[in-house]
Structure formats: structure tokens, C-alpha cells
């Protein structure tokens, strides 16, 4: 049975919460299978509005209002700068010192806000907060956790916004260090109620299915791997028999189009992520977006890890399916920045050991191969830059003790299943999630069988038993 049909049976809406500067249209998947009957077509208007700070001006820190493309904002100890030390997307960005910027207007129907941010110049690290008001600015409550500003380049954090008729936002910080804020993006449905700099909107037709919601899937372009057959993300099997059913919240199947995963709600992270890699996936159409975002498509009752959930923990937001494995489009790259594709990973493990392995596998593709990859984790307790920890995000996200990957490498071609033999090259790597790790990934080569023993998963279950047994016992030389 096709993976996306499993999602249809669950009657769930899976929507990518990406936060790109340009407006984006979601692909729809009408319910024409799985035993469901069609119904009347409804129309949902969605919007994406970005305040770029390229219009309007404010040259001094003195408090005052400034009219921007989205409306009037109040700046207190903040200005719009374009000096060499200002980190910006375009010509201008907010430079915020000891104060705040706040909207003087409300926006309707917003479900997500994304903010690009960085340290100003050589200033020291600092902390800032996002606040929301549902009473016209009379009172504010903090949205999400504090953001520790340590980046010297623009990064994006996204915040899920609970349903409210109207809401406005404020960004505040204390201390004398400065930060830059740029490209604040609001995403939502219906009429946003903004008349200054009115946004483009997208109309999405959603096929109704009686009392059940249609499966809208994720934002998936034609550059995604096929659902089944050659180059599909689960061609060689579903390691844990994951299903998209609420009775399996800790082995919940999610098909993001560009990769497939088993998600663990109790741990707040994937058990494993599986994807196919070939030359079409790394065409560099898209830059690295850095638009980390919570995934709004999780079932009701699941905990949604937000983009700042690991903030201050000493652990990286470690990709399973890497950003650089999906550069064929902005949709593809954005899909890798969903927090459901992340684990808390020790910085040296993520930025050196795993980065080196990821680069090596992409080199195999450049040399004329295609690769089927599964990455996962197990255990509890790792050591990041702040020391040992077993959880982050207030206990909602498990810190794994081990991070593993299995890669099956074939010469580029067709009929992949039948081309696998007892001598097909398979690389299996299992690393401790610690910051003192060796940067040489070959030090951690193991066998597929050893990873199966540690995890209880059945890898390559779709292969004939004699071939499966042979490749799972082989230990790669790591040339």
C-alpha cells in the first residue's frame, strides 16, 4: 500500500511549515483512493506576508513610530540600519539594542511567524524574546522560549501561533549588545486584514470528503522521489513497520515527499529517516534556507517541537536528511528544516563527523552512483557543548546516546531492487552522541546487523534473505 494512502486513511492534514521569503503554493492531493468518496470542493485562501524593512526609514535609536510595508510599527531603542556591521537580507535590517519593536496593528488568521536574526557586528551574544498580544497591545505574553543570539549570519526561527481572531507581535531584548532582525514572515489563512502593503494570496482547492478532511500532503514538487519503485524513499523496506495511525504515536509514519520517517511523539524526534539520493537531488537550485520550523501537520495531541526548542541546550539541531541532500528546489530544502527531521546532536558530532560522512556520500553520487540512506538514533543521554543531558526543550525532546546511518550504494541505473547483490557496497556507521568524538567517521564503521541488534529494526526487509544476510554481515572498509 502506498505511503501517502496510509496518510489518507488516517484522515490527517500534513502541511509543511516552511518560512521562505517568497509566497508559496502548496500542492494538493485529492482523495481519489483509499475507499473514500469525493465531495464538494471548498476554497481556502492562504497568505504569506513578509516585512522586509526595505521601505520606511528610522536612523536613530530614539523611540518613535515608523511606517513600513505591513503597517505602523513602534521602535524603542531600535533603528533601521545598513552599516557594515548590520547583518541583513537586502539593504536594510532592524538594529535592536535595549528595547523592542512592536506592531501598532493586528493581523488576522496567522498560524506561524518566522523571524531572521543575527548578532550585530562583533557584539557579544545576547538574548531576546517574542511576545504576542490578543487585546490590541494592552497585554503581552511570551511566545516560545528565549532566543540565544549567537549567530554571525542570519538564521531563521519560526513560532507556531495559537488560533486567535487578531494578534500583534513584539520583539524585545535587554542588555547593551545589539542584534539584527530582518524578514518577519506571517503565514495564515483567510483575510489578514492588512491594507498597507497588501500581500499576494494563494487560493487552494481542497477536495472535501464528507466529515473527514482531505489529505493535503506536504508541499512537494516534481523533484521529489517517486512514491514507489526505483528511487523511492522506502524501496528497500520500512525498518520498524511504522504506520500513520494514532495508536502508534511513537512509531508514526510521516511521508514528507522528499524523505519518509518514523516519528516518536514521546521522544519528540524521529526514530529513523529514509531517503534516496542521486544527482537530481543536489542540483543546487536552492541555497541552504536555514528556515527551521515546527511541523504543524502533526496529529492533535502530539507535542510540536518549535524551531527554538533546542535553544541554549548545547546541542545542534542535527538534520537526519541533510539540507545539502535536497537542493533541487526551495520546497525540497525547506522540507529538511522541519523540526521533525531533527535530533539534539552534539556540535562536533554534527558539524564534523556527520558532515564528513554526508559529504562523502554526495561524492559517491558525483562519481556516478545513487545511494539509499537510512539515518536514526537510539538510547538516552549525550554530551553537548554545555555538558551531559538526557533531554532538551523542557523534557519534551530526548537526547539520544547514539546516532547511526546506513547507506546502500549502487551505480546509477534502473531496476535497483534486482541489481542489489551479496557484494553490493553498504556503509554502516554508529557514533556516540558526544562532543569529544573523532571527526573521522570511518572510526565508527560497524555492520548493519550490529545496528539492527541495537535498535530492533529490520533494515532492507524487502531484499531476498540470502542477499540481506550477506550485506548486513559485511563491514565496509571505508575507503
Catalytic center residues: 319
Nearest to 275 by CA among 254, 297, 251: 254
Kindly list the distances between the CA atom of residue 88 and the CA atoms of 1, 18, 316, in Å, as whole numbers in the listed order.
Answer: 47, 20, 23
Q: What is d(CA 267, CA 250) in angstroms, rounded to the nearest whole number?
A: 8
Q: What is d(CA 21, CA 114) in angstroms, rounded to the nearest whole number?
A: 10
Q: Which residues pair with 60 in a beta bridge?
A: none
Nearest to 249 by CA among 299, 297, 215: 299
Q: Which residues pair with 74 in a beta bridge?
A: 65, 102
Q: What is d(CA 177, CA 125) in angstroms, rounded to the nearest whole number?
A: 7
Neighbours of 97 (CB within 10 A): 19
Neighbours of 89 (CB within 10 A): 17
Q: Are 81 and 154 in contact (CB under 8 A)?
A: no
Segment holding 152, helix H or strand E: none
- Supply 313's cell numbers: 541546550
Nearest to 398 by CA among 258, 257, 288, 250: 250
Q: What is d(CA 474, CA 154) in angstroms, rounded to the nearest whole number?
A: 44
Name the 3-class secondary structure at 61: coil
Distant-in-sequence contacts of 61-65, Cβ < 8 A, 24+ apart:
61/97, 61/99, 63/99, 65/104
Q: What is d(CA 357, CA 42) in angstroms, rounded to the nearest whole number?
A: 47
Phi, psi for 79 (deg, rounded to 5): -145, 175
Kindly list the distances between the CA atom of residue 15 and the CA atoms of 149, 233, 254, 338, in Å, as whole numbers in the listed order.
Answer: 29, 19, 11, 11
Q: Are 447 and 428 in contact (CB under 8 A)?
A: yes
**Residue the block writes with cell 522560549:** 145
- Supply 105's cell numbers: 496593528
Provide the terminal-to-terminal Cα distance of the chain, rounded to the nearest Å: 38
CA atoms within 13 A on the CB side of 361: 34
Name the 3-class secondary structure at 344: strand
Neighbours of 150 (CB within 10 A): 14
Amino acid at each position: 500500500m502506498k505511503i501517502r494512502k496510509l496518510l489518507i486513511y488516517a484522515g490527517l492534514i500534513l502541511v509543511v511549515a516552511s518560512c521562505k521569503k517568497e509566497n508559496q503554493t502548496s500542492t494538493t492531493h485529492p482523495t481519489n483512493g483509499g475507499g473514500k468518496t469525493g465531495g464538494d470542493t471548498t476554497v481556502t485562501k492562504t497568505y504569506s506576508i513578509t516585512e522586509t524593512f526595505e521601505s520606511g526609514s528610522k536612523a536613530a535609536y530614539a523611540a518613535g513610530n515608523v511606517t513600513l510595508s505591513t503597517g505602523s510599527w513602534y521602535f524603542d531603542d531600535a533603528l533601521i540600519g545598513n552599516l557594515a556591521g548590520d547583518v541583513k537580507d537586502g539593504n536594510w535590517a532592524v538594529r535592536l539594542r535595549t528595547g523592542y519593536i512592536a506592531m501598532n496593528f493586528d493581523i488576522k488568521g496567522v498560524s506561524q511567524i518566522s523571524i531572521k536574526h543575527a548578532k550585530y557586528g562583533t557584539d557579544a551574544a545576547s538574548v531576546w524574546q517574542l511576545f504576542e498580544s490578543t487585546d490590541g497591545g494592552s497585554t503581552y505574553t511570551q511566545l516560545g522560549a528565549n532566543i540565544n543570539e549567537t549567530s554571525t549570519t542570519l538564521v531563521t526561527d519560526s513560532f507556531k501561533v495559537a488560533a486567535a481572531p487578531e494578534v500583534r507581535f513584539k520583539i524585545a531584548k535587554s542588555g547593551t549588545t545589539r542584534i539584527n532582525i530582518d524578514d518577519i514572515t506571517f503565514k495564515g489563512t483567510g483575510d489578514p486584514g492588512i491594507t498597507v502593503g497588501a500581500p499576494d494570496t494563494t487560493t487552494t482547492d481542497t477536495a472535501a470528503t464528507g466529515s473527514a478532511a482531505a489529505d493535503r500532503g506536504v508541499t512537494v514538487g516534481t523533484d521529489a522521489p517517486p512514491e514507489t519503485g526505483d528511487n523511492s524513499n522506502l524501496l528497500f523496506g520500512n525498518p520498524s513497520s511504522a504506520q500513520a495511525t494514532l495508536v502508534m504515536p511513537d512509531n508514526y509514519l510521516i511521508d514528507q515527499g522528499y524523505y519518509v520517517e518514523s516519528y516518536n511523539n514521546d521522544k519528540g524526534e524521529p526514530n529513523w529517516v529514509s531517503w534516496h539520493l542521486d544527482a537530481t537531488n543536489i542540483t543546487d537550485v536552492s541555497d541552504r534556507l536555514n528556515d527551521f520550523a515546527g511541523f504543524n501537520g502533526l496529529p492533535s495531541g502530539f507535542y510540536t517541537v518549535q524551531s527554538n526548542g533546542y535553544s541554549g541546550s548545547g546541542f545542534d539541531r542535527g538534520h537526519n536528511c541533510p539540507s545539502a541532500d535536497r537542493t533541487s528546489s526551495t520546497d525540497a530544502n525547506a522540507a529538511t528544516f522541519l523540526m521533525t527531521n531533527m535530533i539534539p546532536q552534539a556540535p562536533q558530532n554534527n558539524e564534523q563527523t556527520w558532515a564528513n560522512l554526508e559529504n562523502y556520500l554526495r561524492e559517491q553520487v558525483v562519481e556516478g552512483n545513487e545511494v539509499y540512506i537510512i539515518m536514526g538514533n537510539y538510547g538516552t543521554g549525550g554530551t553537548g557543548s554545555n555538558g551531559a543531558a538526557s533531554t532538551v526543550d523542557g523534557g519534551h525532546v530526548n537526547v539520544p546516546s547514539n546516532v547511526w546511518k546506513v547507506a546502500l550504494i549502487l551505480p546509477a541505473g534502473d531496476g535497483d531492487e534486482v541489481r542489489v547483490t551479496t557484494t553490493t557496497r553498504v556503509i554502516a556507521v554508529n557514533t556516540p552522541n558526544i562532543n569529544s568524538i573523532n571527526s573521522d567517521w570511518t572510526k565508527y564503521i560497524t555492520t548493519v546487523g550490529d545496528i539492527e541488534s541495537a535498535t530492533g529494526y529490520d533494515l532492507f526487509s524487502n531484499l531476498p534473505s540470502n542477499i540481506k544476510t550477506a550485506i548486513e554481515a559485511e563491514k565496509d572498509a571505508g575507503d
